[in-house]
Amino acid sequence: QKEVEQNSGPLSVPEGAIASLNCTYSDRGSQSFFWYRQYSGKSPELIMFIYSNGDKEDGRFTAQLNKASQYVSLLIRDSQPSDSATYLCAVRQGSGGYNKLIFGAGTRLAVHP
Amino acid sequence: AAGVIQSPRHLIKEKRETATLKCYPIPRHDTVYWYQQGPGQDPQFLISFYEKMQSDKGSIPDRFSAQQFSDYHSELNMSSLELGDSALYFCASSLGSQGIDIQYFGAGTRLSVL
């Protein structure tokens, strides 16, 4: 079992809809959680990060964290075709400032007009 | 704003050759991470450096070595290259000394081993 699990998709949603991406992790000691967007052949681009239980909103994006359930999600409102990409969930273990990220396999999102 | 700079962007090597990848972190960032991403795979952590010292080590082959220099740039040296080393290699940097653990990624080096 991978330490960070994501549904590989593809997740197909119509333009303007809400896309919901989910991620579970196995290490209860995990402190910080990140969502990166990656276009094919490009580098991961940070979308959101969340440290505390609850919701965190930034524009069209909302990250949700539930440490008791070891679950983190990303909601994308008003999805646009330009949002079509692979979304990587990443978990940082430990509390130091220089700990590696453990990535999930990524969920491929396709937003169709 | 300045980003993480990686060079070269593309590299083609033959089997058993060596390769050196370079990474220049965001100014004032003191921590550098190297990740390897194979085709269709998620990024896999290789190694990291904090204040020029190795801080963590992942699934990095013994054929690979890396270091961080006094100006905080880092180099990943790869020897006896194998076909399976063909991948995207990303460098990321963060400001680890402040406990700010957000990692920003460079554009990557695409290594092709023929």
Structure tokens at B105: 């990624």
- Check B101 against A32: CB less than 8 A apart: yes
**Secondary structure (3-state) at B14:** coil
Measured between CA atoms, the residue of chain A closest to residue B107 is A43
What average pLDDT does the segment A78-96 reach?
Answer: 89
Bridge partners (DSSP) of residue A75 are: A20, A62
Give CA–CA dist B106/B57, Å, rounded: 19
Mean pLDDT over each residue of chain A, to the nearest integer: 92
Bridge partners (DSSP) of residue A68 are: none
Calculated CA dihedral for residues A104, A105, A111, A112, nearest 10 degrees: -160
pLDDT of residue B100: 59
Residue A95 has pLDDT above 70, yes or no: no
Which of B42, B96, B103 has the CB atom closest to A104's CB atom? Answer: B42
Residue A3 has pLDDT above 80, yes or no: yes
Q: What is the pLDDT of residues A42-55, one digit of tens each?
A: 999 999 999 999 99
- Check A97 against B94: CB less than 8 A apart: yes
Number of residues assigned to chain A: 113
Distance between B97 CA and the closest CA of chain A, angstroms:
6
Residue A38 has pLDDT above 80, yes or no: yes
Q: What is the pLDDT of residues B15-38, one digit of tens each?
A: 999 999 999 999 988 899 999 999
Share of chain A above pLDDT 70, in %: 95
Spatial contact of B21 and B44, defined as CB atoms under 8 Å apart:
no
- Check A42 against B107: CB less than 8 A apart: yes
pLDDT of residue B36: 97
Confidence of residue A110 (pLDDT cuts 50, 70, 90): very high
Between A and B, how many CB-CB pairs are < 8 A? 66
Spatial contact of A44 and B43, defined as CB atoms under 8 Å apart:
yes
What average pLDDT does the segment A18-29 reach?
Answer: 94
Cα–chain center distance at A68: 18
pLDDT averaged over 10-residue windows placed end to end, chain B, 114 residues: 92 98 94 94 93 89 96 96 97 78 93 97
Give CA–CA dist B98/B78, Å, rounded: 31
Name residue, tokens 């990060």. A49
Calculated CA dihedral for residues A78, A84, A86, A88, nearest 10 degrees: -20
Q: Where are the beta strands (DSSP E) in A1-113?
A: 4-6, 11-14, 19-25, 30-38, 45-50, 54-58, 61-66, 71-76, 85-93, 101-103, 107-112
